[in-house]
């Protein structure tokens, strides 16, 4: 699952935990939303 989480976060190194913080006015909101969706898909595995 580390590899799947790493992929969902868009990184190559193993990830064991992640937090998502959203600022409503952020220019990164679309990318943050995509990462959040990818991580939620992992919960279904």
Beta strands, E only, the chain: none
Q: Which of 11, 16, 20, 14 is nearest to 40 (CA)?
A: 20
Contact 8, 42 (CB under 8 A): yes
The better pLDDT of the pair 8, 34 is held by 34
Q: Give the pLDDT of residue 12.
A: 84
Does the predicted model carry a pTM greater than 0.95? no
pLDDT grade, residue 45 (50/70/90)?
Answer: low
Q: Where are the domains of the chain?
A: 2-43
Contact 25, 15 (CB under 8 A): no
Asked if residue 10 has pLDDT above 70, the reply is yes
């Amino acid at each position: 699952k580390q590899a799947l989480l790493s992929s969902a976060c868009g990184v190559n190194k193993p990830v064991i935990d992640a937090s998502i913080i959203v600022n409503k006015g952020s220019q990164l909101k679309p990318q943050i939303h995509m990462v959040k969706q990818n991580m939620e898909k992992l919960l279904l595995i």
